Structure 1
Amino acid sequence: MSKLVYLFAGLFVNSAVLANNNATPLKDVYKLPVWVDQVQRVCPWKSKAGSGYVRMIRTEVDGRHGLFLQWVRKGIAGAPTQPTSTVLVEELTHEFPVRLEMPKAKLLPNSCQLSATAENINTERRYMMTFTLKGPGSYDMQVTRLYEGGL
């Protein structure tokens, strides 16, 4: 759990430091934990409270991947851009010990859909994982077990 707190604190503090000071980005990037594997901006979002984009943060610990979804709101009238909601995809932590391809995004009329192939690190069973992102902090996950093909 301490790694999760460190990630949240590191991402929030580092983005605040960059927005409010003349700090060098390189110095702050060095503070990023080594278990952060990839970060990618995926889909725009818009609500009555604001607009922004979703950022995916894939982690790797002990050979398995985890995933954070972060909704980032664009600042208005000179206010800094800042995260409004960050959620851990808990299913990957508790139910599916997998290595996960970086999900590919598809923008739908009322949501953003992320799809990725994953492989269980213990059994090598493969899955197709689909994440449907709605408003800030809201997602649904669907898992399809893939079978080996052949005649």
Structure 2
Amino acid sequence: MKRLLTALQRRTLKSKLLLIFSFLLAIAFSFGIESLYSKHTMSGKIHFLYQFTLGVESAKDMQSRCMQLKDILLEVIVSPDQQQRGKLLSQLSQVSGNIARSIMELRTRIAPKENNSEENKKELADFEVLLAGYLRQTDKAAALISSNSLAQAQALATSAEF
């Protein structure tokens, strides 16, 4: 330490100022590098949270469309007018298509991500199997309604399988 102080005392004022300026510039540069690294890390985390939020939104959208599907089907069954049933059946097919789109969005948000656990992927696959069965039952009920078998459609819609 004593040698450092004597070496600094031997220097001229110009070289001392240049040394201090260089030291301050190195500190500012290191703060800048650390700031860029933190910004990059935060950007990645924010992007991950955004994608997660979009996945949750897709799941909630699909959940509401499934409930809407059941409501429309029950409304078709109790509707006394054939024309009204036709409108509701077209809504039913439209909601089924929207559910298929929602499941595709959800699959793209969950399946390829390396951050998602295998448990999430397994739950999505299980849900898709259950959803396919539900949509088959809905299609079967819609076919029964189209063939004017309202009693059978009502029995199917109120069964435990459905």
TM over 0.5: no
Bigger fraction of residues in helix: 2
Asked which structure has the greater RCO (Cα within 8 Å, sep 6+), the reply is 2
Bigger Rg over Cα: 2
Q: TM-score, normalised by structure 1?
A: 0.29
Q: TM-score, normalised by structure 2?
A: 0.28
